[in-house]
């Protein structure tokens, strides 16, 4: 069976978007998604995102398979791409949304609300961060305690780490120079560390200024990527918890910058950044 798709990217974190509004289950299996994501023999992407019918009063449902076939709870860059994809689908259907426009999207991490902005950017209400060890989950602290600036042994070295869940798990460590990190070696060791029963996304953060952070990321199920939206959000939260950054800052990723704000007024994290279409096509 031939299926149409669109390729999008958010700061180089790229996804295959599929119009799945006609049924509540993804039209591809995880194994098929792996084939589509292959950069040599497939379309090539960090993951496949399915736009499904909404549930529980939401507009749509988002499901995503990583390039290794695993299914994360949600994806920050991915949901910005999905918002732009939905704008195109609705415009094609003759009901183009009036911008600014907010979608209510059901994800495995709960309700996420991206807003299309007049300048083409997408602002996402990522919800409140989850900070307790049982919410990550991790065994680095007691279930009801926060994991802030605690030691973790990885690759024969002690790293001071802070853990945050943005609906998916993140381990953040602050370093002097992110470019000096052997990411391809260290990333898998963090991801599969025994302290993280559901594996972990890992962010290495260099604080340039309180309002400017540099980040490199190893994503659970995808490896090295050019950007990670939930990781940028988790990193800013970790920076605030460690007293090294402001509540609003630019997070510079290899693919470009995101603006992240953790608002004290409502305890919610807001992410603003681009999402762009690359091409559309069909595949079997």
Map out the domains of the chain as residue ranges.
3-127+274-283, 133-267
Q: Which of 188, 187, 200, 225 is nearest to 46 (CA)?
A: 225
Structure tokens given for 210: 């309180």
66 is in an annotated binding site: yes
Q: pLDDT of 149-200, one tens digit each?
A: 999 999 999 999 999 999 999 999 999 999 999 999 999 999 999 999 999 9
pTM of the shown model: 0.95
First-to-final CA distance of the chain: 6
Distance CA 145, CA 132 (A): 5
Residue 56 is labelled as binding a ligand: no
Return the CATH number of 3-127+274-283, one of 3.40.190.10, 3.40.50.2000, 3.10.310.10, 3.50.50.60. Answer: 3.10.310.10
Q: How large a percentage of the chain has pLDDT more than 90?
A: 99
> Fold match between 3-127+274-283 and 133-267?
yes
77 marked among binding-site residues: yes
In CATH terms, is domain 133-267 a member of 2.60.40.10? no
Q: Tokens in use for 217? A: 């990321």
Residue 37 and residue 44 in contact, taking contact as beta carbons nearer than 8 Å: yes
Q: What pLDDT is stored for residue 181 in this prediction?
A: 98
Query: What DSSP element (H or E) covers 152?
Result: strand 150-154
Which residues carry out catalysis? Answer: 75, 228
Residue 29: per-residue pLDDT: 98
- What are the C-alpha distances in Å from 208 to residues 154, 239, 250? 25, 12, 10
Give strand pairing partners of 146. Answer: 132
Q: How confident is the model at residue 1 (pLDDT cuts 50, 70, 90)?
A: confident
């Amino acid at each position: 069976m031939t299926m149409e798709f669109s390729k999008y990217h958010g700061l180089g974190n790229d996804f295959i978007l599929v119009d799945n509004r006609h049924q509540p289950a993804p039209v591809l299996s995880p194994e098929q998604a792996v084939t589509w994501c292959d950069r040599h023999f497939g379309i090539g992407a960090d993951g496949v995102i399915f736009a499904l019918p909404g549930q529980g009063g939401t507009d749509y449902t988002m499901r995503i398979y990583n390039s290794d076939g695993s299914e994360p709870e949600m994806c920050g860059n991915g949901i910005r791409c999905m918002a732009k994809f939905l704008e195109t689908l609705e415009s094609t259907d003759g009901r183009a949304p009036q911008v600014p426009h907010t979608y209510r999207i059901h994800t495995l991490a709960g309700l996420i609300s991206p807003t299309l902005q007049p300048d083409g950017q997408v602002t996402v209400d990522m919800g409140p961060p989850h900070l307790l060890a049982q919410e990550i989950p991790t065994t680095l602290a007691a279930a009801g305690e926060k994991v802030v600036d605690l030691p973790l042994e990885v690759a024969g070295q002690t790293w001071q780490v802070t853990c945050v869940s943005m609906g998916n798990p993140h381990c953040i460590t602050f370093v002097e120079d992110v470019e000096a990190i052997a990411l391809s070696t260290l990333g898998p060791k963090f991801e599969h560390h025994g302290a993280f029963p559901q594996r972990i996304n890992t962010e290495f953060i260099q604080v340039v200024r309180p309002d400017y952070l540099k980040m490199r990321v190893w994503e659970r199920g995808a490896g090295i990527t050019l950007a990670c939206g939930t990781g940028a959000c988790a990193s800013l939260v970790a920076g605030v918890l460690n007293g090294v950054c402001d509540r609003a800052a630019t997070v510079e990723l290899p693919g470009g910058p995101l603006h992240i704000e953790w608002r004290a007024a409502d305890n919610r994290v807001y992410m603003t950044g681009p999402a762009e279409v690359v091409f559309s096509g069909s595949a079997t």
